[in-house]
Amino acid sequence: MIEVTDLTKTFGTTTAVDHVSFTVRPGMVTGFLGPNGAGKSTTMRMIVGLDRPTSGHARVNGVAYRQLRDPLRQVGILLDAKAVHTGRSARDHLAAMGATHGIGRARVDEVIALTGLESVARKRVGGFSLGMGQRLGIAAALLGDPRVLILDEPVNGLDPEGVVWVRTLARHLAGEGRTVFLSSHLMSEMAQTADHIIVLGRGRVIADAPVAAIVAQSSGGAVTVRSPQTAELSAAMTAAGGSVAAGENGALLVSNLAAARIGELAAQDRIVLHELTPVAGSLERAYMELTQGEAEYVSGGAPGTPPPPPTGAPIATGDPR
């Protein structure tokens, strides 16, 4: 369990984290999502006492991290930047970390095996690929068999096999009743891993809800319709109260009308349909809507880039207690 209360961090005149409050519960994977620079890493660093909050506080398992008597046994941390001395071997790094808590070589070798680092365990970390570095970071996080895992961008730099491995591991750890809190700036990754999502934009929580709720409230529900009689179809849809937009490759994107209704209307007017596909609201889309205008650096509308998606209804924040 991680409880963050009114956490704020300012660097000079910049507010990196702005009165953030949320709770991360055990037994599920909670995704921490937001564009780069949204304040995810700073929030995570404050949770584990590396950064000092300007105001507010964070507790892990009911205790401020700095007051934990056995932090490595309670919380496993993988931080965004490599937090490993490059001149030391992976095995020595883990042994040094474990020694603080009386965790011996047996457990070190166990996490090395668990993360598939056996072949490089005695090599110096400086020569590691990004993926191996991430695996070592995850091994360090698992060292104390902690109840809470805080993983900042765990799939960064991993190959597809590694990505699946992290996903499976996160699900497995949550299934054991642990608290799993992982950050990403990639929505697609979260859609496949997380049960619950907290979205951060410009230092503020802009959504805190189960994945399903976020998807459902996004402006989904459109239907892709393809027909050789585009003009007639478009007119019929508009007449029936639907709104029509141009889809891909000449298709129409109809919203406010159910797929069945569109089919009936087409049959009525004897319009030939080549495709009738409901478009599920995607987490990707919901995320884009949520973080619209929240990204620190918004790419300019260069010629040829698609227009930004329409802004949907605001999504309720606050956890569904």
Partner 1 sequence: MTAPALTVSPALQGAHGVSFAGAIRSEWIKLRSLRSTFWCAVIIVVLNVAVSPLLLAVLPADGLPSGPSTMSLVVSAITVGSGFTSLVAAVIGALTITGEYGTGMIRSTFAAVPKRLPALAAKAVVLVLAVFVVAAVSVTLSTLIVLAQASGRGLDLDLDGAFWLALLGDAGYLALIGLMALTVGAIVRNTAGAIATMVGLILVLPNVASLVSALARVTWLQNVGEFLPSTAGSRMYAYPSPGLDAVVQQAQPGAITLEPWQGLLVLLAWIVVLATIATILVRRRDV
Q: List residues binding partner 1 (CB under 8 A).
A: 26-27, 45, 48-52, 65-66, 68-73, 77, 79, 81-89, 92-93, 95-104, 106-107, 109-110, 140, 144-145, 147, 175-178
Q: Which is nearer to partner 1, 114 or 212 (CB)?
A: 114
Do residues 92 and 140 touch, judged by C-beta distance below 8 A?
no
- Least separation in angstroms between CB 126 and partner 1: 9
Rounded Cα–Cα distance for residues 132 and 174 (Å): 23
Residue 43 dihedral angles phi and psi, to the nearest 5°: -60, -45
- Least separation in angstroms between CB 177 and partner 1: 3
Q: Which is nearer to partner 1, 26 or 309 (CB)?
A: 26
Closest CA to 137 of 161, 164, 162, 101: 162
- Least separation in angstroms between CB 127 and partner 1: 13
Q: Which is nearer to partner 1, 83 or 186 (CB)?
A: 83
Specify the DSSP element, H or E, that contains 131: helix 130-142
- Least separation in angstroms between CB 254 and partner 1: 41
Do residues 157 and 130 touch, judged by C-beta distance below 8 A?
yes
Q: Which is nearer to partner 1, 5 or 10 (CB)?
A: 10
Q: Which is nearer to partner 1, 33 or 95 (CB)?
A: 95
Do residues 112 and 139 touch, judged by C-beta distance below 8 A?
yes
Q: Which is nearer to partner 1, 104 or 314 (CB)?
A: 104
- Least separation in angstroms between CB 75 and partner 1: 8
- Least separation in angstroms between CB 318 and partner 1: 19
Rounded Cα–Cα distance for residues 111 and 115 (Å): 6
CA 91, distance to chain mean position in Å, is 30
In sequence order, what E strands does the chain have?
A: 2-11, 14-24, 28-33, 55-60, 75-78, 148-152, 179-184, 196-201, 204-210, 222-226, 243-246, 252-255, 275-279
